[in-house]
Structure 1
């Protein structure tokens, strides 16, 4: 895939970039390795000051950076601005909390292990490679960078090839904020070059957010090199609606949860599993609200759904929908690409799906929702857990016992009750099953790329 900005609204190439040579990649790895020697000896207070400076830059430049996101991957402008501001919040969160998260933890009774004192300490590992996707090109990268840098690690960013200008913006952000030269750098390389970077002994760990095949490849390379890896892969998150739910809130949130970021989010609700008692009303209202969404130029503030980020992504989504329809699915709203330039796909709702339809098991990465009728809570949980994914989930019920039952039963990294899944700096984020392993954000996220050192003193 070419390293280029191809505007998804028009399909036109805005700017192309020459990939970094092997020599340049080696130079940047060496720079990250050398920068770690300096960064690990700085104080939490110094690193916090630089993180806050980076947050200040993000907020000061939000207009231009948000427009860049729209041009590179097509999200509506208001959502792009919100992503920048959320990223600044994430930087400030780790500036505030990193020292407490990584504080020494003394053993309350060291005599139990024959010591006068015993404790554990978190220490940074070194240069960490991040392989990041295009769908939240600033937030995804910074939710890695903020904890990694706060802990004293350095970062190497292999960003998606269709957001190179965002990658280069982030390449310069931390140096402008005061971090040592080489503390955070972008690598303009293709996916074929990632394995060699993972294998380099100066790179100590790797994190990837992306597809399941990419995750398997990176995890295999990291495992062979005996290096830590964290994976956040795909999701086909269930949105379960029970009879006691507030149907007005459930419908309104369901539409947003499926179409935010033009439907291109790993944690977007994709499968809407509705109890038979409220299925007919929910499905009617959900389909009507989906059909009423404003599709158009993402730079227009009135637009609710813009284009998909890539032509191949739009075509893959269309194939999933066409396969489902060919196998008997009923179209309640939308389907198909509108007659206009760019990589748009009409927001779509499908029902009555055949078990052998690909979309039942595969992730639909775009504004396409699938509806399932559940006979009872047991049936709803069965449908929710039937895919290989387990990223997050959303359950709508006002029955406390039912809420607790679903929290226990759902195979997912998170359960949101009467709300849509959102990532917060304050909460750990990650999945189970084919959705990956490890956690980002909160205390768990900053500790992933540290050495938990045990200290025993006689």
Structure 2
């Protein structure tokens, strides 16, 4: 029987093995979702909220042990893993407190005696989730989906099966009956079987551009809703009047979060020439102060990349960019999954460091003449997830933000996902939104009702 192995990235030690579910077990899970949906969808918001709040309580009570599980499976620095678990509790409480208000009937004045829009659940929703934020990615899907009255199926990344099963256990211990939230330990080749089932009504995927394209094609073939949150190559624009030290501090924090393995990490640093030398020097000094090593050690700021193949891909992107004229002025050495943070200068369009998503600790410094060129360079990307603008002229920044082709723009601060704010991208970064009111509206039936005499 085929299985997934969980490997500790820091030293490549195998720590657990998980047997893949067979066809009969997949069918049983799907059947469980179908049987549970009518019951769960009839539960009042108060009942669903009670369970979500219990989940939040359990997350906080067990944050240390759950964080250790995250770090063991994908290498995230322990303190970052703790913060991730805490954020999941925040997301659960947010939707427990706001879902009913978001989904209340909307009265619309028309020529009818009464007309309104009602929002109801649609059934079983499949989530295909990545390894880089193995708890938060799941909870930002699950909290709104379940509060809307849907039931959830999770197909998580192969290297975080322990996290997947732990999340299901949390829901069950909090009082969610079997079938409300189920983890499927299944390989990619059964995705089509699951998604094509008449029981599954929609899919949410966070992952690569290639995975998103494949899943969207399957969903489309079966006329099912899909939400895709894919890659990013976020622009970090530094104008001449920016606070260079604060911008550099944020740049390093953004790029190095989760060892650079974040879709919304700043990846392309577009700096006007007047600020370039000072900004580059400040970034370089801050990179040098990072402490790479065992992610369980308190002094470590940068852990390993999650898998060896990911580190090798990043190294090849760096080398290919250097072959086209980029200068590697700091870092870039590999030792297993441990990838020394690298700083590249003179990055230009046509290089992998500019054109592709670099999913790891690689800083791509790009000189621009002025804000006009910065905006043109920023929008010269097939991605459009997030972006930063740094300037003391806030009125100008807001005007530029409206011209930046991305799903979010953060002015003088780091791009983050937060429960109250819609999150998602455009172009090859995907479509649809998670979080906020917009996130819960993705998987509901928006029903028009009219009343006449």
Band of TM-score, shorter chain: over 0.9
Q: TM-score, length-normalised on structure 2?
A: 0.98
Whether the 8 Å CA contact 1:291–1:334 is kept in 2: the answer is no
Residue pairs, 1:294-313, within 5 angstroms: 294-313=291-310
2:392 is aligned with 1:395: no
Distance (Å, rounded) in 2 between the aligned partners of 1:355 and 1:144:
35
SS at match of 2:143: helix
SS for the counterpart of 2:132 is coil
Cross-structure match for 1:371: 365
Assess if the C-alpha contact under 8 Å between 1:125 and 1:450 holds in 2. Answer: yes
Structure 1 residue runs of 4 or more that deviate by more than 3 Å after TM superposition: none
- Give the CA deviation at 1:2: 5.5
5+ residue gaps in structure 1? none
- How far apart, CA to CA, are the structure 1 residues paired with 2:230 and 2:398? 27
2:192 to 190, 195, 206: 195
Q: Does 1:204 align with 2:198?
A: no
Aligned equivalent of 2:429: 435
1:425 aligns with 2:405: no
SS of the equivalent of 1:201 reads coil
Q: Give the match for residue 42 of structure 2.
A: 41
Residues 189-230 of structure 1 show CA distances to partners (whole Å, capped at 9, x for unaligned) of 111111111100000000000000000000000001001000
Q: CA deviation at 1:277?
A: 0.6
Q: How far apart in 2 are the matches of 1:354 and 1:417?
A: 24
Kindly provide the CA deviation profile for residues 294-339 of structure 1, in whole angstroms up to 9, marking residues without a partner as x: 000000111110000011111111110111112221112111214x
Aligned residues: 451
Tell me if 1:284 matches 2:281.
yes
Hey, what does 1:13 align to over in structure 2?
14
Separation in structure 1 between the aligned mates of residue 86 and residue 347 of structure 2, nearest angstrom: 39
Find the counterpart in structure 1 of residue 349 from structure 2. Answer: 355
Question: Please, which of 219, 229, 235 is the counterpart of residue 226 of structure 2?
Answer: 229
Q: What CA distance in whole angstroms lies between the structure 1 residues aligned with 2:3 and 2:320?
A: 29
| Correspondence 1:152 to 2:149 | yes
Structure 2: how far apart are the matches of 1:8 and 1:222?
A: 33
Give the distance between the partners of 2:311 and 2:252, measured in 1 at CA: 19
**How far off its partner does 1:404 sit?**
2.3
Q: Deviations 1:411-455 (Å, cap 9, x if unpaired)?
A: 000000000101000000000000000000000001100000000
| Aligned partner (choices 403, 406, 424) of residue 409 of structure 1 | 403
Post-superposition Cα deviations, 1:136-181, rounded to whole Å, max 9, x if no partner, equal 0000000000000101000000000000000010121111111121
**Is residue 121 from structure 1 mapped to residue 115 from structure 2 by the alignment?**
no
Residue 268 of structure 1 aligns with which residue?
265
- Per-residue CA distance 1:382-412 (angstroms, 9 max, x = gap): 1111110000001001113321231121100
- Contact 1:4–1:163 (CA<8 Å) still a contact in 2? no
**TM-score, reference length from structure 1:** 0.97
Contact 2:126/2:154 (<8 A) preserved: yes
CA–CA distance in 2 between the matches of 1:400 and 1:288?
28
| Partner of residue 99, structure 1 | 100
User: RMSD of aligned C-alpha atoms?
Assistant: 1.0
Spell out, residue by residue over 1:120-145, the C-alpha distance to the aligned partner (whole angstroms, 9 max, x if none). 00000000000000000000000000
SS in 2 for 1:17: strand
Separation in structure 1 between the aligned mates of residue 394 and residue 20 of structure 2, nearest angstrom: 54
Residue in structure 2 matched with residue 384 of structure 1 by the alignment: 378
- What are the residue-to-residue correspondences of 1:176-191 with 2, within 5 Å? 176-191=173-188
Contact 1:288 1:333 in 2 (8 A): no
For residues 386 and 360 of structure 1, the distance between their equivalents in structure 2, rounded to whole angstroms, comes to 9
Give yes or no for contact 1:39–1:152 (8 Å, CA) kept in 2: yes
Residue 354 (structure 1) shift: 4.3
Shift of 1:355: 3.2
CA distance in 1, matches of 2:99, 2:391: 36
- Check whether the contact 2:348–2:366 (CA below 8 A) recurs between aligned residues: no
Alignment partners' CA distance in 2, 1:142 and 1:152: 15
Contact preservation (8 Å) 1:133, 1:160:
yes
**Is 1:51 the equivalent of 2:52?**
yes
Distance 1:38 1:404 in 2: 47
Deviates more, 1:350-359 or 1:260-269: 350-359
Q: Is the 8 A contact 2:314 2:358 kept in 1?
A: yes
Unaligned segments of structure 2, at least 5 residues: none
Supply the distance in 1 between the matched residues of 2:250 and 2:347 (Cα, whole angstroms): 23
Residues 291 and 348 in structure 1, CA contact (< 8 A), matched pair in contact too: no
- In 2, distance between residues paired with 1:288 and 1:332? 12
